[in-house]
């Protein structure tokens, strides 16, 4: 698949051949259900699962009977730590547990390929010959991204560490950088545009290709 390559100013300078097995899945054949399954897996595995409430046996409160059983005209009650009293324990509250899910490696690979193909089909992929910055100024980086994506939320994939680019993007609310080797479904689906330099494209092809 021939795909245009832009320079840092957003002008076409050449074209590149994108592998069909990664970027060329037809739009009608894109498996959105599998992509959603991988997205749920990633967000679930990111949860700590440390939530916990105190039960009636764990609250810092005396368990002594707080008034006599008979003769008061009131309902009979035991410990004030019961759930229906203010300050009492929580009944059936959350307890620490794991949310981790599993998914076969081949299914994860297919889901990422479907996501990359969906970016191409929806014109959300931007391939540039190189993505560099002469200074780490946020203002300069904002102008560069505006030339490429026109104010859309953008994810910039990098092949290696680039301090100027990383520092310039860090202060932008609608942009993020990510190493191409850490490509994941959540970041791919969270941005309007994905900017891929040619060196980062080679990393993607080496990991997600045949």
**Rounded to an integer, what distance in angstroms lies between the CA atom of residue 31 and that of residue 113?**
10
Residue 206 in contact with residue 200, Cβ under 8 Å? no
Q: What is the pLDDT of residue 140?
A: 92
Average pLDDT over residues 49-74: 93
CA dist 139 to 130, 147, 167, Å? 19, 13, 11
Residue 210 has pLDDT above 80, yes or no: no
- 47 token code pair: 């949860």
State percent of the chain over pLDDT 90: 92
Tens digit of each residue's pLDDT (9 = 90 or more) over 6-45: 999 889 999 999 999 999 999 999 999 999 999 999 999 9
Residue 203 in contact with residue 195, Cβ under 8 Å? no
Mean pLDDT computed over every residue of the chain: 94
**Rounded to an integer, what distance in angstroms lies between the CA atom of residue 200 and that of residue 131?**
10
Can you spell out the DSSP letters for 108-147? HHHHHHHHHHHHHHTT-EEEES----SS--HHHHHHHHHH
Tens digit of each residue's pLDDT (9 = 90 or more) over 107-126: 999 999 999 999 999 999 99
**Rounded to an integer, what distance in angstroms lies between the CA atom of residue 157 and that of residue 179?**
6
Q: What is the pLDDT of residue 121?
A: 95
Residue where the block lists tokens 């104010």: 151
């Amino acid at each position: 698949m021939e795909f245009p390559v832009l320079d840092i100013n957003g002008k076409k300078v050449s074209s590149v051949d994108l592998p069909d097995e990664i970027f060329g899945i037809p739009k009608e054949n894109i498996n959105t259900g599998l992509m959603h399954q991988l997205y749920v897996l990633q967000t679930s595995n990111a949860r700590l699962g440390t939530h916990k409430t105190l039960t009636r046996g764990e609250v810092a409160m005396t368990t002594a009977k707080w008034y006599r059983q008979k003769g008061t005209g009131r309902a009979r009650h035991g410990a004030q730590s019961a759930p229906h009293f203010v300050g009492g324990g929580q009944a059936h509250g959350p307890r620490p547990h794991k949310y981790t899910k599993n998914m076969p490696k081949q299914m994860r690979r297919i889901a990422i390929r479907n996501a990359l193909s969906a970016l191409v089909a929806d014109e959300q992929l931007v391939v540039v010959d190189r993505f560099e910055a002469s200074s780490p100024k946020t203002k300069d980086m904002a102008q560069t991204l505006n030339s490429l994506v026109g104010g859309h939320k953008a994810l910039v994939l990098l092949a290696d560490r680039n301090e100027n680019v990383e520092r310039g993007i860090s202060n932008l609310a609608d942009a993020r950088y990510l190493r191409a080797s850490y490509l994941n479904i959540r970041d791919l689906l969270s941005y309007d545009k994905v900017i891929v330099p040619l060196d980062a494209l080679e990393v993607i092809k080496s990991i997600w290709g045949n």
